[in-house]
Amino acid sequence: GENVEQHPSTLSVQEGDSAVIKCTYSDSASNYFPWYKQELGKRPQLIIDIRSNVGEKKDQRIAVTLNKTAKHFSLHITETQPEDSAVYFCAAKNAGNMLTFGGGTRLMVKP
Amino acid sequence: DSGVTQTPKHLITATGQRVTLRCSPRSGDLSVYWYQQSLDQGLQFLIQYYNGEERAKGNILERFSAQQFPDLHSELNLSSLELGDSALYFCASSPRQGNTGELFFGEGSRLTVL
């Protein structure tokens, strides 16, 4: 089955700096890669996603890049703000329609 | 509000007991997914149903079972509970089986096994 590795597990940045979270996946047939943000005690919510036919996608301060050959994708957050503090999960959906999540990254933005 | 409703929000029970968690998906969504999130852990995929039929199975223990009813609500049954089953159980829904779009998560059911 699919295996998704996510790094780092914790990330601390200063407000205004950029944050990068990286994920690798194992199933070359995976074709959909969403990122979810989970605030403390809340449900995960989709913040951005990318499909396998696209290399990069941007939405305001967040962007995701995908390298299918290397089977890795990354989340980039620029100009970080305290409200960006949360746990971020990457995920990969394979041909069997199973969405597998990475282990999560706890992002802390220090004011 | 995602439109996905989970009950109960909190549940405390003893080892060896059995509990049922309920999920009502968003109106019109045919797919229901169950995930387990242990303390400070990631989201472990348990099982997916589409329009009443099982479509994908993850690391779901034999002590756990689930089903999706004709009205599309789903139930996750956990039996012979162990301390390690304490976790937050999320249900999520999406419109179509093969849809590569968003999963809408409920608020979760927090299970504590004492």
Q: What is the pLDDT of residues A59-78, one digit of tens each?
A: 999 999 999 999 999 999 99
Sheet containing strand B74-78, strands side by side: B5-7, B19-24, B74-78, B64-68
Residue B99 pLDDT: 57
| Beta carbon pairs, A and B, within 8 Å | 53
Q: What is the mean pLDDT of chain A?
A: 94
Per-residue pLDDT for A111 more than 80?
A: yes
How far does Cα B101 stand from its chain's mean position? 19
Task: Find, in chain A, the residue whose alpha carbon is nearest to that of B104.
Answer: A45
Task: Work out the pLDDT band at B75, boundaries 50, 70, 90.
Answer: very high
Task: Find, in chain A, the residue whose alpha carbon is nearest to that of B31.
Answer: A97
Lowest mean pLDDT among A50-54, A89-93, B95-99, B100-104: B95-99
Question: What's the rounded mean pLDDT across residues A16-34?
Answer: 95
Per-residue pLDDT for A23 more than 60?
A: yes
Per-residue pLDDT for A4 more than 90?
A: yes
CA B67/CA B49 separation, integer angstroms: 7
Residue A97 pLDDT: 72
Beta carbons of B111 and B6 less than 8 angstroms apart = no
Most B CBs within 10 A among A30, A94, A98, hence the mutation to make, goes to A98
Per-residue pLDDT for A39 more than 70?
A: yes
Output the furthest CA–CA distance in chain A (Å, rounded).
43
Burial status of residue B81 (CB atoms within 10 A of its CB: 0-12, 13-18, 19 or more) = buried
Residue B97 pLDDT: 62
Task: Work out the pLDDT band at A81, boundaries 50, 70, 90.
Answer: very high
By three-state DSSP, how is residue B85 classified? helix
Q: Put residue A14 in one of left, alpha, beta given phi > 0 → left and psi -120 to 50 → alpha.
A: beta
User: Among partner residues A42, A46, A51, which is closest to B102 by beta-carbon distance?
Assistant: A46
Going through B2-113 in order, the beta strands assigned E by DSSP cover 5-7, 10-13, 19-24, 31-37, 44-50, 53-57, 64-68, 74-78, 87-94, 104-105, 109-113
Task: Work out the pLDDT band at A2, boundaries 50, 70, 90.
Answer: confident
Question: What's the rounded mean pLDDT across residues B41-58?
Answer: 90
